[in-house]
Amino acid sequence: MAENLVIVESPAKAKTIEKFLGKEFTVVSSYGHIRDLAKKNLGIDIENNYTPEYIVPDDKKKVVTDLKKQVKNAETVWLASDEDREGEAIAWHLYEVLGLQKKDTKRIVFHEITKTAIQDAIKKPRSINFDLVKAQQARRVLDRLVGFELSPVLWKKVKPSLSAGRVQSVAVRLIVEREREILNFKPTSSFKVHGDFNSSKGTLNATLSEKINAKKDVKAFLENCIDATFKIADITKKPSKKSPAAPFTTSTLQQEASRKLGFSVSQTMAVAQRLYESGKITYMRTDSVNLAESALKTAESAIKKNFGDDYHHRRTYTTKSKGAQEAHEAIRPTFLENDSVSGSNQEQKLYDLIWKRTIASQMSDAKLEKTTITIDISSDKRDFIATGEVLIFDGFLKVYIESTDDESDEEVKGLLPTVKANEPLEMEEIRAIERYTHHPPRYTEASLVRKLEELGIGRPSTYAPTISTIQNRGYVVKEDRPGVERSYDMLKLENTGVQEKKLTEITGAEKNKLFPINIGMVVNDFLVDNFKEILDYNFTATVEKEFDEIALGNMDWSKMIDSFYNPFHKNVEETTEHSERQKGERYLGDDPKTGKPVIVRIGRYGPMAQMGESDNENEKPKFAGIPKGKLMETITLEEALDLFKLPRELGDYEDKQMVVAIGRFGPYVKHDNKFFSLKKEDDPFTITKDRAIEIIEAKREQERNKFIKTFKEDETLQVLNGRYGPYISFGKKNYRIPKNTDPKSLDYEQCLEIIKKGDEKKSAKGTTKGRKKK
C-alpha cells in the first residue's frame, strides 16, 4: 500500500518527479484532462447559470478506473498538475471524478521540476484554488458557446463543415486584413544615392542625406557632381550602448525560436514541454520576466567564472503585461551552471537559446562609439553622410544577440577610416539606385504571436493552439512563395561621366509566411459583417481581462458569461434568419467567345470559376476549380478563362487516355480511373505527355515499394515505406519503427510490442492535446 499517491498530467513528468521522492511516494499520470464538456446539448446547462456538464471520454475511462484503484490504496493524494489555470482545472477534475476527500488530499505546485522545488512543494501544500478553476471554466464554456453556435451559422450561410472560434476568428481577421493591405499597396520608387570617396587613410562609403524621387533630378544631380569638389565638413563621435533583452516569456521564446531556429510555434512548445518535464527548464507557459533570487545568484557566479567580473550586471525585470497570469518566473534553465544538456538535437538547440538569453539578461551593457562624417559637395546644398560603429566593450553581445522580424535592407555599419575636418576627398564613384517602398510584411507565426500579445488577445497557453487551429481548419496556409522579376534603374557617375543601366531583381519572395486562402477570407467577411463584437480586437482583449479578474476572485464567472451570451445568442438568431448567403461572389466580365458571364465564388468543394447563369434551364453553366494560391479577389478574367481549358487531354498511354485537370486537392493527371497529383513545379496548362507518364510511373514505383511486410496473423497490420521512412500501420494508426531496427526483420510479435509502446507514448502526448482544448 502506497502511503502517498502523487498525480501529475504526463508520464514524462511523473518519471522525473519520482526520482526526487522516497519509496513512500508513488507517482502516476492522468494523461492530461480526464473529463471534458459533453458534446450533447452544448455540454452546458444555460438555464442553470451555465453549469457545465462534464463527462469522462471513452479514451480516459480506463485511466480513471486505474487511478481510482490506486487512490483506494493511498493514505494521502497529492495533486501535482501544472501551476496555471489549466493545471488547476485538471487538479479539480481529478478531485471530483476520483471522489477525493479534502482531509486526505493536498495540492502542490512548482515552476520547475527539481529535487529542491518538489521537496519544498511537499512541505507547503495548499488547497485547490477555485478562482483559477472558475477562470479556466469560464474560458472553456465561453469558447464552447461561441464555437457551437457560430459554426452552424457558417454551415448554412457559407459552406458545410466550417468552424468559428472566439480567438481563432480574430487571428484569421488579422491575417486577412494584412493580406488586403498588401493587395491594395501601391509601391512608389525613389533613388538612393551612394558615393565612394578616397581619403589619405582609406575609402569612405557614404549616402546622400536625402532620397531623390525623379530620374531626371538624379541625372541632373550626378551631372552637377562631375566638376564638384568634396571635403570633410564635420566629424561627430557619440558614445552609445545596447542593453540585453529580458529573459524569455512564452511569446518571446516562440518568436526567437522561430527566427533563430526555424521552429514553428507548436514545435517550440512541444520541445519546451519535454525540457520542462525532464527537469531542465522552468515552466514554459508564462508571461513573467522575473527571475528567482537563486537564479540571479547562479547567473552571477556563471558569468564571473566564464567571462570575468566586468561582464556581470545584476538586473531585475518587471512584467509589463497587464493580464499576466499568476506569479510565475520567466523561462530559464533550472541549473544555470549547465550551459548544455543531453537530449534530442531540437532540445539541445532550444536549451542553448534559453541558457544564452537568461545569462545575457544578467550581463553588462555593450558599449559602442558611433561616428558620423559629413561630406560637403561644392555644387549642391545636400551632403553625403558616412556612419560607422565601433564596439568598445562587447558585454552581453559576447553571448547573445536578439533577432528581429525587420525585413528592411539596412546596411551593416562598420569601421570608418581616420579623417580630419576640411580634408579634401577624391570622388571614386557615385551611384543612384532605384528603390521601391515595401508593403507591410506578411505575418510569420512568430510575428502573429507578437501581434496577439500586443492586442491582449489570448494568453501563453493559447498562442500555439490558436495558430495551429487556423491552419488545420484550412483558413490559413503557411508556405514559401517565389518572388517576381522587377526592373530598376541605376545611374552611375565615374570618371567617364554618367552611365545608365536597366537591371532586374527578384522581389516579393516569401518564406514561412501565413497566407489567407479564399474560404478564410469569405468566412472572415461574413463574421465581420454579422458579428462585429466577436471579431472586435478590443472586445476580445476585454474578455481576456475579465478571465483575469475571475482568476483573482474579483468577478463572478457565470455573470460574466451571461452578460456575453444573451446579446450574442440574439445576434446568432437574427443572422440565421435574416442574413444573405455569403459566397464571395465576384463578376469578372463576359467570355469574349460566348458572351456568357464569368464569376468566381465559393462552391460546395471550395473556390471555383463559373461560366454561364445558374438559373438557365436550357444550358447548364460550366465550372472550373481555382488552384491553390490564387485568390478570388485578384484573379482576372483572362486567368479565369484559362481554367476552362481544363480538363485537357494529353493523349493515350497503355491504350488509355490521360487527362489533366484541377480538383479540390489541386492539379492532377487522370489515367485508367486513377488520379496522380502534379508536383508544385508542374503547370496543368503546359504539362507534356512525357512528363505526365513520368508522374504516373513514379507513383507506381512508390506504390510497389510501399509494402515491406504483411502478416497472415492479421492482414491489417502492415510494415510500410512512407515519406519519412519505414513505419507500421495498424488500425488506422501509424507507428514509428525504432532507429537501427531493420523493418524487414520484424516479426508479428515484435510489431505488436512496437504498437503497444507507441500507444503508451501517444497517451502521454494526450497531456499536451488535452491542454489545448479551447
Q: Which three three-digit cell numbers place residue 66?
A: 486505474
Cβ(415)–Cβ(207) below 8 Å? no
The helix (H) or strand (E) run that includes residue 165 is none
Strand-pairing partners, residue 393, are 367
CA distances to 74, 245, 315, 577 from 318, in Å: 43, 12, 10, 50
Task: Output phi, psi for 746, to 5 deg.
Answer: -70, 135
Grid cell listed for 361: 539578461
In angstroms, the CA 130 to CA 133 distance is: 5
655 Ramachandran zone, left/alpha/beta (phi>0; psi -120 to 50):
left
Distance of alpha carbon 548 from alpha carbon 325, whole angstroms:
7
Among residues 685, 587, 687, 581, which one has the least CA distance to residue 635?
587
The distance in angstroms from the start CA to the end CA of the chain is 38
3-state secondary structure 660-682: EEEECCEEEEEECCEEEECCCCC
In order of 18, 66, 82, 130, 356, the CA distances from 7 in angstroms are 11, 12, 11, 18, 33
Segment (H or E) for 725: strand 725-730
Rounded to whole angstroms, how far apart are CA atoms 383 and 228?
12
Question: Which phi-psi region, left, alpha or beta, contains residue 357 (left: φ > 0; alpha: ψ -120 to 50)?
Answer: alpha
In three-state secondary structure terms, 425 is strand
- Single out the residue of 464, 492, 550 nearest to residue 263, CA to CA: 464
Residue with cell 498538475: 81
Are the beta carbons of 309 and 441 closer than 8 angstroms?
Answer: no
Cβ atoms within 10 A of the Cβ of 203, count?
15
Distance CA 98, CA 101 (A): 9
Q: Confirm if 241 and 368 have CB atoms less than 8 A apart.
A: yes
Q: Can you tell me the distance from the alpha carbon of 585 to that of 351, in angstroms, rounded to the nearest whole number?
A: 50
DSSP symbols for 297-335? HHHHHHHHHHH-GGGB---------TT--TTPPPB-BSS
Rounded Cα distance, 206 and 430, in Å? 9
Q: How many CA atoms lie within 13 A of 428 on its CB side?
A: 11
Give 53-69 as a DSSP string. -EE--GGGHHHHHHHHH
Long-range contacts of residues 179-182, Cβ cutoff 8 Å, at least 24 apart: 179/442, 179/515, 179/516, 179/521, 180/633, 181/439, 181/440, 182/439, 182/440, 182/442
Q: Answer for the pair 384, 207: CB distance below 8 angstroms, yes or no.
A: yes
CA–CA dist 502, 514 (Å, integer): 33
Q: Residue 497, by phi and psi: left (phi above 0), alpha (psi -120 to 50) or beta?
A: left
Other C-beta atoms closer than 10 Å to the C-beta of 422 total 10
Is 265 in contact with 463 (CB distance < 8 Å)?
yes
Catalytic residues: 283
Place of cell 463527462: 55
- Judge contact between 172 and 470, C-beta under 8 A: yes
Residue with cell 519546451: 272
